[in-house]
Homo-oligomer: A and B are copies of this chain.
């Protein structure tokens, strides 16, 4: 069975092995070293030199909310630049907590109109911008350089969900002016699910420390973690909520594999695999949701069902030993299926995926 899922993705044996090491005491100097190594390597993956890296046991949704509660002043105006379900979820979180959200819908098929964002942010005086670099429901890749420019021009803080990008897309937090960047383990990082990684630049860290208001939550407030992470950086123990030791050990190994491969080469590898996949899809007459290759992500491809097909295709693929996830986009969901091709995916996985697709489509159209 070949699983081309969005997450959890294939995990390397050495990472699994480290997951099974007995966790150390949370204040064991050895464990603090592991933590320090993880934060060091996360800087490389996120493209940030200074600032702070947080490693926290939580789901992606909890982490997204953590960013919103920690950085957006209560009931202030915020923009969510959304190309799919994750942007929409961020919007819902913002709405629940009482923020004045401008949800700016991005065409999931591209092209991306950054002008609407620029105009809204300027007109409304918005000082907090949220966006999802790659929304796994659309497979669309945002250009964070463009969004960073808009944020800078308007003195706004930029908070990015890079969960589907970290480890397979170019990441330049410093260069783009991303104030807060979030990623997670079970996508292109190839590490078991359960941890989120958040990096804040100096502006964002200072904001947290000097914030005059408090959020409605203690559990999801990033602020009390700040001194913990600063302590760790000095090899000292700090405590606010317990770390998930086994997952941190796994992350350490996952990051070692990534930095060994090199972030640049790893991104390039993902790009090659994506292009191979898309060339193959085109040959099979399958249409990728995102029209222009310039806007396509390296890790997730959303595909329109061909004429006459629907979700029953996924069951036929399964019978041919290929697991593909269905669509989840608020608009295109029922008309699409998806291929996850990040992390430890190989060229053979791509060719197998294409050949099973070909066989299944022919077989079923013959029937």
Q: Which residues of A contact B (CB under 8 A)?
A: 3, 5, 7-8, 10-11, 16-17, 19-23, 25-28, 56-62, 64-65, 73-76, 89, 92-93, 95-98, 100, 127, 186, 192-194, 212-220, 241-247, 323, 325
Contact = CB atoms under 8 A, between A and B. Distances in A.
Interface centre among A28, A61, A216, A323 (most CB of B within 10 A): A216
20 contacts: A8-B242, A11-B23, A16-B21, A17-B20, A23-B192, A56-B59, A57-B57, A58-B62, A59-B219, A64-B219, A74-B213, A89-B218, A96-B215, A97-B216, A97-B217, A127-B212, A193-B244, A194-B247, A216-B216, A246-B247
A4 to B, nearest CB: 10
Nearest to A77: B214
Contacts of A92: 218
A58 B58 contact: yes
Nearest to A195: B194
Nearest to A9: B23
Contacts of A219: 59, 61-62, 64-65, 93, 220
Contacts of A25: 3, 5, 8, 323, 325
Contacts of A20: 16-17, 19-20
Given A17-B20, A74-B213, A213-B74, A8 B218 contact: no
